[in-house]
Structure 1
């Protein structure tokens, strides 16, 4: 140091003060002391904070995030170095200004790279509101977007600020390491099992930290210098304290190594915990979970405009090959892939993760060619969250999306709105048809989901599946046999009711034509193919989408459902079980094997005895007949009638008790949400008993409107208005929607209100029925059967 520093130190010693301290006088440093003391330590802090960005960057796409974190580390530490002469209370505001500038620049850069429109203020507000949940639900690899880089950049800047202040200003190097260590550990925990172990960056972190401790930094004078100006007693006491502190610290380190060492060794080879599993990904409602039920509604309004499609580019792959599209589906637009079937509904069953523009690539089947299709889609009247796209999407611009890589289904978490425009680049696979005849289907736990057959399959479906598979050996032949049978024996109509549960499929396949059987929309054709396919050992799923004739509007009449079968080496192959236009279906009986004929009964040989001539109607009855015939018949008949009446009375009393017990359990037992659901089932059961069952594809509010109309019609135009609670089914529908979308928010008072509405409505509707229907109402077994079926379905799902 210069002479000025020597004079100050001499004055301090003369005053009896420790070296480097004075009352109100700061230590004066030579101009070159910064390069030899503070700058190397500042570089160490920058490297320690930047290594956290290297760890996080392993689960991000590209190398932008590590650069942004390194910039935040450099800026925060540099501000601390440049402001070392200022009071400590002034450093934090200046550093926050630097943080704001660097963060806004980072958000603008990532927004431009992700093609996100909008002003910077709106982008920053959206990122601040949703930064943490979207980071924890984003798909790996995470695309650097404003909401996925905000948290790492801010955390890195704050860690650098705290480390520089504690290390450079207060001279506490080891304590100043705490913020970078916490940031590094948090980064490792956040990455979890989503990347390879970070052995290299961890070793570098430890090495740089040790190097920083070895540097002769400012504010860390040697022990001899610190004790030079102390009296002998004070020096002895200081030495004792230093030795004690060193011994205690060494003992603590050794104890921690002994206690935690075995546990850490056992964890080294284990799989780290993924913190993302504690965060619930985006969810969808029932219509988006099972869009198959929307087919029949769209078929009744074929001119409704749902989308506008413009094909921007198509890269045909292998145009000289065979037509690798057995179902002829072409560039169909896919809405959702339904892989789960519980015997009642087909569902997507997806786990959506927030994704950026670039979606994760999936392996292409070896026996398939790939063509790139790029389309611009504009939403018109399509509702929900499902985002249409040609399979399989690889890049989406213009809309924020969440993606399920297993099914390839996209959603727009904020919901679709008219005018939403986005561009999708897809890689459409086209299987080689020449390999289908000899291709096998996979088996095992990996495909158990698409091979599962739910309990309760009707015996008629099993027999049909067995008959169709007898004449076909290879998997593709079995699939083709099912496809041909459906296409030849059933009629495609737009007005068929929705439904694809086991009873609906059975009625579609075997119901009489004059009663509505053997006819359906693509919903029934696709569902029947998928169920029969699984019964013959084929992994199947149902896809809902559109088949437009070309660019332009996509209307509701273009909605379509088709089945797909998974083949080894070829991937998912679509099939088309729909009949050809203008073809008359063959009778189903022609395609079914007749039941086995019973052996003919032996012909009786002619008797040689003369036939007995029956007595004339007016002939007198013999003594035996008069003695034992008529009285025995009357006695047996009377006993039978009495027993029948007693049995009927007992049955009616049993049904009455069971019905009352069911209603009491629905309305008084369970949580408030369960009681609201029970009240809703009471109302729907009442509609069924009144002969006006609610359709399964109606929303709760639509069912409530229909229920009020049914009650008004039953009471007649001249009747007095029904009680307020009897027409409060709309309020009950709102409570039911809260159970579905905000579970756990209902109170006991709201559950009691729901029960009162249900009782009043059921009473009002029953009173409006004819007298003989009122008598049968409380003993009708229909609600008991439906409750039993519901419990079976819930137990099967569990």
Structure 2
């Protein structure tokens, strides 16, 4: 058969397996475009070589043995791949633990991982296994069954899947796709049978010519079909080259956090009451630390302010008038985090910290801003805010290392720096509806007196530092009513004092009202090394400046400064302007009053004296009115007791909610029946704020006014607690407890008492005897 026959046979035996290996490896090239480094591509290529080689070696074995042998080999290659990935990514934990975690979470973590994806056990497991199975299926169909074209289907599907997973996160894979088509064409160009395998061998001439004719017709028909499909589908496929595919990550929910992690600002007051609680340990290294003239990194009097370091826990950019929230979209990340461009006029300093978790709970990971590399813990990251979380939660003893790029803005440029505007910063400029008028007036006053953005920010910082007192036992709260009470409440009634929560939140809201892009940061002012305790926790505001980035401000007062009364520098404008003209004088009556009757006239008439008759009638009328009022007050109290203390817990919570809606109706703020509990709570917040503002203004004018009941802050909390309980009753009726019913009764009593106390004396009296709640439908 000639000297070239062995070479031709070797070519026929190797070209299809090599083609399959190349096609599968190209899927790894496509997927590797969103991975950091080339490890993923090499592991997929190894799976392609291994799966096809196993099928070639076991070609002489029965077909039912090939799959078990190949799966065993796949298991071995997967173990090797997981070990290599875990070692390179420095994933903590034993191999069994790491492999089990990867097997459970491979798909969601691959689709929620941050781009570029670091090759870790959970992000390489699915591609490696899919590549091996595609190679096994393709080899068996193309090599054992001889259906080469059909055997190309698994690699093509793997390629399409890789393109889909990448989505719009990389440029179109034109080169890899063209290479796939070329490899497939080369594989089809080589005949699949040897010369001695001609199907017409051994037939008589007549039968041989018939078979060859049928083969020629079939080949021509197949070629025509391929050409027709290319002509029909070619333009459509070419048109998709420049289109951006849909990102599959939009269909997968990223890691979520609890309320305390979404709004860690509410933890400040709790930490302030347990100052010695050790939250974590820190050891800091600064390889390129600046000279000693660098500005302090913390609030006055803190460890950071004395040469320490400010550690950030979370960045809160979203505010809805009630709560500050992180509002982050966390993506699973590897050791290397995406690096953003530093501000042009800021100095970047590398800070490396080793942190050991103590009593700190939740999922938020403390780190110096802005983290660039994390080892020792699997993390998720939000590039928009720079907030880190550990999806599995913090546990005592967890140790990890963070390398951060801390930016120090050029303070010499702050005085003339501008602030950005537009859609890019709309999130940090948004002021929700319902801002109290007093806050707007104060922000306007400070903005009018200071034109430049930095001057406005500095004025707000100075105002808060000079007029308010920092205390540890102030209640938590940063909704509009809480901030209004903190800024303008009576000093002897709990106002004008708060934790760093109120200082930072007030600065951020006043800054936005003055046109500054602001946000609130929760973190710790810590020493370079040593324990970080609850007393080190605090919140601070930041303002965004063009070219300088986010600049921190510290509106906290100096420890030894005595705050100046707010009334000395801020007087709310009167609601109604004084009349421009003098009022008309009151006209005196022209007729003379009737002369009094002589004392003896009545006696002479023989009847009862007129004063006695008038006095008796008036006294009787007063007795009747007094009795009616007493009866109404008694009925009202009985109705309240029945609502709050009778029936099962769900009925008592519903009764407490009726007490709240009745109180709103008595205050002139009835709520529609179709409003949700959250919407009713919003109306209740506004009603109490307006009532308190009116009572404060009246008291300052000397006209008297009601007290605060249990205080407006407690009343606002009571509304939120009651709304949460009534929602629970609505969606889970059988879950209410006796303790929750008691809490609902206390919340309704607190709010009603505060709303009633904010009214004038006569209105408070009428409140208790108003017959409306006895007849209003519910």
The question of a shared fold, defined as TM-score above 0.5 by the shorter chain, is answered with yes
Q: How does 1:475-624 map to 2 (within 5 A)?
A: 475-593=453-571, 595=573
Distance in 2 (CA, whole Å) between partners of 1:221 and 1:568 is 78
Distance in 2 (CA, whole Å) between partners of 1:664 and 1:33 is 91
Matched, 1:277 2:250: yes
Bigger mean CA offset, 65-74 vs 321-330: 321-330
* Secondary structure of residue in 1 paired with 2:380: strand
Measured after TM superposition, the shift of residue 765 of structure 1 is: 6.5
Measured after TM superposition, the shift of residue 160 of structure 1 is: 1.5
Distance 1:233 1:754, change over 3 A: same
Measured after TM superposition, the shift of residue 753 of structure 1 is: 2.1
Normalising by structure 2, we get a TM-score of: 0.76
Instruction: Kindly indicate whether the alpha-carbon contact (under 8 Å) linking 1:385 and 1:411 is maintained by their aligned counterparts in 2.
Output: yes
Distance 1:765 1:56, change over 3 A: closer
Distance in 2 (CA, whole Å) between partners of 1:606 and 1:153 is 97
Distance 1:403 1:88, change over 3 A: same
2:120: which partner in 1? 145
Measured after TM superposition, the shift of residue 119 of structure 1 is: 2.9
Q: Per-residue CA shift, 1:79-131, capped at 9, x if unaligned?
A: 22222222222222222222122111111111111112333222222211111
Distance in 2 (CA, whole Å) between partners of 1:302 and 1:760 is 30
1:287: which partner in 2? 260
1:190: which partner in 2? 165
* Secondary structure of residue in 1 paired with 2:80: helix
Aligned-residue Cα RMSD (Å) equals 5.0
Q: How does 1:758-773 map to 2 (within 5 A)?
A: 761=741
Instruction: Kindly indicate whether the alpha-carbon contact (under 8 Å) linking 2:485 and 2:713 is maintained by their aligned counterparts in 1.
Output: no
* Secondary structure of residue in 2 paired with 1:270: coil
Matched, 1:157 2:160: no
Distance 1:221 1:409, change over 3 A: farther
Among 60, 68, 82, the alignment partner of 2:43 is 68
Measured after TM superposition, the shift of residue 696 of structure 1 is: 10
Instruction: Kindly indicate whether the alpha-carbon contact (under 8 Å) linking 1:171 and 1:218 is maintained by their aligned counterparts in 2.
Output: no
* Secondary structure of residue in 2 paired with 1:361: coil
Distance in 1 (CA, whole Å) between partners of 2:231 and 2:447 is 66
Measured after TM superposition, the shift of residue 32 of structure 1 is: 5.6
Matched, 1:254 2:228: yes
* Secondary structure of residue in 2 paired with 1:250: helix
Matched, 1:753 2:734: yes
Among 297, 316, 320, the alignment partner of 2:289 is 316
Matched, 1:297 2:270: yes
Distance 1:698 1:557, change over 3 A: farther
Distance 1:327 1:367, change over 3 A: farther
* Secondary structure of residue in 2 paired with 1:332: strand
Instruction: Kindly indicate whether the alpha-carbon contact (under 8 Å) linking 1:322 and 1:432 is maintained by their aligned counterparts in 2.
Output: no
Distance in 2 (CA, whole Å) between partners of 1:546 and 1:165 is 61
Bigger mean CA offset, 179-188 vs 321-330: 321-330
Distance in 2 (CA, whole Å) between partners of 1:578 and 1:665 is 39
Instruction: Kindly indicate whether the alpha-carbon contact (under 8 Å) linking 1:437 and 1:477 is maintained by their aligned counterparts in 2.
Output: yes
Distance in 1 (CA, whole Å) between partners of 2:239 and 2:544 is 41
Distance 1:89 1:174, change over 3 A: same
Q: How does 1:767-782 map to 2 (within 5 A)?
A: none
Bigger mean CA offset, 294-303 vs 204-213: 204-213
2:333: which partner in 1? 355
* Secondary structure of residue in 2 paired with 1:389: coil
Measured after TM superposition, the shift of residue 280 of structure 1 is: 0.5
Q: Per-residue CA shift, 1:344-382, capped at 9, x if unaligned?
A: 000001000110111111110001001000010001101
Distance in 1 (CA, whole Å) between partners of 2:532 and 2:597 is 83
* Secondary structure of residue in 2 paired with 1:437: helix
Instruction: Kindly indicate whether the alpha-carbon contact (under 8 Å) linking 1:542 and 1:562 is maintained by their aligned counterparts in 2.
Output: yes
* Secondary structure of residue in 2 paired with 1:569: coil
1:716: which partner in 2? none
Matched, 1:35 2:10: yes
Matched, 1:166 2:136: no
Distance in 2 (CA, whole Å) between partners of 1:280 and 1:452 is 26
Measured after TM superposition, the shift of residue 541 of structure 1 is: 0.5
Distance in 2 (CA, whole Å) between partners of 1:340 and 1:220 is 75
2:354: which partner in 1? 376
Distance 1:491 1:372, change over 3 A: same
Q: Per-residue CA shift, 1:485-529, capped at 9, x if unaligned?
A: 000000000000000000000000000010000000000000000
Among 306, 314, 319, the alignment partner of 1:341 is 319
1:714: which partner in 2? none
* Secondary structure of residue in 2 paired with 1:287: helix
Distance 1:595 1:133, change over 3 A: closer
Distance in 2 (CA, whole Å) between partners of 1:80 and 1:514 is 85
1:722: which partner in 2? none
Distance in 2 (CA, whole Å) between partners of 1:201 and 1:598 is 76
1:214: which partner in 2? 189
Instruction: Kindly indicate whether the alpha-carbon contact (under 8 Å) linking 1:323 and 1:432 is maintained by their aligned counterparts in 2.
Output: no
1:205: which partner in 2? 180
1:23: which partner in 2? none
Distance in 1 (CA, whole Å) between partners of 2:208 and 2:371 is 75
2:217: which partner in 1? 243
Measured after TM superposition, the shift of residue 202 of structure 1 is: 1.1
Instruction: Kindly indicate whether the alpha-carbon contact (under 8 Å) linking 2:438 and 2:572 is maintained by their aligned counterparts in 1.
Output: no
Measured after TM superposition, the shift of residue 144 of structure 1 is: 0.6
Measured after TM superposition, the shift of residue 566 of structure 1 is: 0.7
Distance in 2 (CA, whole Å) between partners of 1:153 and 1:220 is 38
Q: Per-residue CA shift, 1:713-749, capped at 9, x if unaligned?
A: xxxxxxxxxxxxxxxx9xx99x96xx9xxxxxxxx9x
Q: How does 1:353-752 map to 2 (within 5 A)?
A: 353-593=331-571, 595=573, 663=654, 751-752=732-733
* Secondary structure of residue in 2 paired with 1:226: coil
1:715: which partner in 2? none
Q: Per-residue CA shift, 1:320-340, capped at 9, x if unaligned?
A: 986486977662111000000
Distance in 2 (CA, whole Å) between partners of 1:616 and 1:545 is 84
2:702: which partner in 1? none
Normalising by structure 1, we get a TM-score of: 0.74
* Secondary structure of residue in 1 paired with 2:732: helix
Instruction: Kindly indicate whether the alpha-carbon contact (under 8 Å) linking 1:399 and 1:422 is maintained by their aligned counterparts in 2.
Output: yes
Measured after TM superposition, the shift of residue 591 of structure 1 is: 2.1
Distance in 2 (CA, whole Å) between partners of 1:144 and 1:316 is 32
Instruction: Kindly indicate whether the alpha-carbon contact (under 8 Å) linking 2:471 and 2:497 is maintained by their aligned counterparts in 1.
Output: yes
1:92: which partner in 2? 67
1:13: which partner in 2? none
Measured after TM superposition, the shift of residue 252 of structure 1 is: 7.1
Number of aligned residue pairs: 679
Q: Per-residue CA shift, 1:684-721, capped at 9, x if unaligned?
A: x9xx9x9899979999xxx89xxxxxxxxxxxxxxxxx
Distance 1:214 1:486, change over 3 A: same
Instruction: Kindly indicate whether the alpha-carbon contact (under 8 Å) linking 2:261 and 2:362 is maintained by their aligned counterparts in 1.
Output: yes
Instruction: Kindly indicate whether the alpha-carbon contact (under 8 Å) linking 1:322 and 1:433 is maintained by their aligned counterparts in 2.
Output: no
* Secondary structure of residue in 1 paired with 2:392: coil
Distance 1:412 1:35, change over 3 A: same
